[in-house]
Amino acid sequence: MKSLFFDKLYQNKLKKKKKIGIIPPILLTQRVLKLILYHLEATMALDSAKKQEIIANFGRGEKDTGSSEVQIALLTQRINDLTSHLQTFKKDHSSRLGLLKLVGQRRRLMRYFKSKNRDAYNELVAKLGIRDNI
pLDDT digits (tens, 9 = 90+) for 113-124: 999 999 999 999
Contact 74, 51 (CB under 8 A): yes
pTM more than 0.85: no
What region, left, alpha or beta, does residue 18 occupy, with left being phi > 0 and alpha being psi -120 to 50 degrees? left
pLDDT digits (tens, 9 = 90+) for 53-87: 999 999 998 889 899 999 999 999 999 999 998 99
User: Dihedral through CA 96, CA 101, CA 102, CA 106, nearest 10?
Assistant: 140
Distance, in Å, from the CA atom of 83 to the CA atom of 21, rounded to the nearest integer, reads 45
Which domains does the chain carry? Answer: 6-41 (no CATH), 45-134 (1.10.287.10)
Dihedral of alpha carbons 88, 90, 93, 99, sign: positive
